[in-house]
Structure 1
Amino acid sequence: MSSTEAPYETGGGFGLSSREARVIGGASVLMAINVLLMYALVVTPLAAVNDYLFTVPIVGALVYGAAIVGGQWVAERGVDGGDTGVAFVGMVILQLAFGIFGAGVLRFVPRDAQLTILVVTAVVVAVITAVIGAYVYARSKTFEHWGSYANYAFIGGLVAILIGTFVPVVLLLGFGLIFLGFLLRLGWEIWKVRDRREASVTLQTIGVYIAVAGVFVHVLQLVVRYFASRQ
């Protein structure tokens, strides 16, 4: 989750170029596939993986964190090297990481409510993404520092989860910090799409997808808790 690239251009406005539309469209397709994968995996043994990993919370956080970072690294190496096979493997890792986690969250609600929960989550995430995107596009400034803030939030979240492994009340702080990290990363990725027009469309699509998927699985947990409380 690097934020070391230097900015090249900073602009404002809300008009989307065909290039920006391709990034947004591609990320949306990847996210749609991920949502369908969550719904499909929830009826498989893979949906129980979270139960084992999060027996020790920091283990679960590190395993999924490593899968996301590793999947992104493999996918980007494949794109950079022009190796479609390697890039595909990276995307499979990312899809499975978010898909299995999401399925593990969904399994705690009845099957007939799962599709509704996914739709509600998608709508909430779409609104969040639109608000962050509107803010980024409305401000004629750099958002490069959001990448660094996101990394700090992720690190702080892992530390909080480590402490929460022994002091459970701190786990909520860890959840909040990781969620904040993905929100900040989403803003950073949107800014890169807005201002780094010379960058690879494919790489930016992957970046936006990962940020949106991270926000999605966190919102999904909140929606599932809300629905459970209404039963």
Structure 2
Amino acid sequence: MSPSEKTLISQGAEALVYKTTYLTPTLPALLKYRPAKPYRHPTLDARLTKSRCLAESRLLIRARALGIPVPAVYFVDEARGEIIMEWISGASVRSVLDAMLAAPGGTQKVDRVMVEMGRVVGKLHAADIVHGDLTTSNVMVRLRRRTGLLADTCEEEEVVADGGEVVLIDLGLGSMSTAEEDKAVDLYVLERAFLSTHPKAEGLFKDVLAAYETSYKGAKPVLKRLQDVRMRGRKRSMLG
């Protein structure tokens, strides 16, 4: 794939993410590429890259098969460390909340997003999938067409009013787990993301947990464990 056919949109510690196309020039796609790490032994690096690439793609495929909104996987080249997946045309929940909460009466408009997010995370955990990096930047609101224009041009509050779908992205740190602790940590990471980046939405997080509980039969012991995780987090903060 030549550089002219892809555009770098983000760069993390583990992977580069590009916007590209798949099969035809009109089908937008996301390319996630794990480059070689020169500080690791080449054989070990190749094994880790292959393992992580396959693990992420399998989680996405499993989640989607169970009706959990995640990007569709189009193509996997584990030897090259590449996954090509569906391009989600939308905005992160983080940017949606930033826009809405800045507007007068905005807290009333985001309630649906909070409920939908809790429901989707509940479905994820019911499938014994742990996200591993559950932040408001890794949850998208899929934008829709409106008055003949691409939804990318719409304001975020219009997206919610139109019933934009909440989609989980970036399961690169995800795993299969039945442990209540792992699921509670997922929720704690999401809660901390709200507290640190959306102080006005702190009171709304209870809607996420309420929707989570109604969508996941095993939620009660996880929410109980969440209290323990919170206490440990507070103790670490006090100790520095």
What TM-score comes out, normalization by structure 2 length?
A: 0.27
Q: Which has the higher contact order (CA 8 A, sep 6+)?
A: 1
Give 1 or 2 for the bigger CA radius of gyration: 2
* Structure with the largest fraction of strand: 2
